[in-house]
Each structure stands twice: as structure tokens, then as C-alpha cells.
Amino acid sequence: MHTDGRGPLAGVRIIDITTMILGPVATMLLADMGAEVIHIEPPEGDAFREVGDTRSPEMSAAFLTINRNKSSVVPALARLRRRPGRADHRTRQ
């Protein structure tokens, strides 16, 4: 495990938008090899935070394990509003 910026993937930045098991485990392995992994979470938090045993709310052992060596970010996105006169891509002609 390379947590000091060294390793075969040092200098590589990964944006992790995965959830549950397979994606987070894959990015965990990339982080273990030295990549900088930034885990993007939805505003309500990652669904995996509550899975399994937990001592602290929203911090299950499984969540902490598969997200080790990663930064975690919740983007503050403004809600998109429809503008008058703008075509709605969902409307069928």
C-alpha cells in the first residue's frame, strides 16, 4: 500500500463515481498503488455507508475499508431549471 505519493500510479488522478462493491474496490486498488482517488458522493451520501457493522453513524467498516486512501467530495450542484422557450429533449414531436 502506497499512501505517501509513491508507487506505480503516483501522479495519476482518478475520479471515482462508483457505488457499492465492484467500482469502489477497483478504485481502492488503484489508490493502494499510489493513484490519487477522489470519491464523488451524492448529497445524501454513499448508500454503502450504512452497510454492515458500524460504530459511528454512516461509517460502516465495509465503507471505510473500500474507501481507504481516497478523498471524498460532495459537489454543491445547483438545480437545473428549464428556461422559457428552451426545447425539452424528452418531448416527442
**Residue 11: per-residue pLDDT:** 95
Region of residue 61 (left: phi > 0; alpha: psi -120 to 50; beta: else): alpha
Domain ranges of the chain: 13-73
Where would I find the beta strands (DSSP E) of the chain? 13-16, 36-40, 70-73
Tens-digit pLDDT string for the chain (93 aa): 655 668 999 999 999 999 888 999 999 999 999 999 999 998 888 888 888 888 888 889 999 999 999 999 998 875 545 555 555 545 444
pTM for the whole thing? 0.73
**Residue 6: per-residue pLDDT:** 83
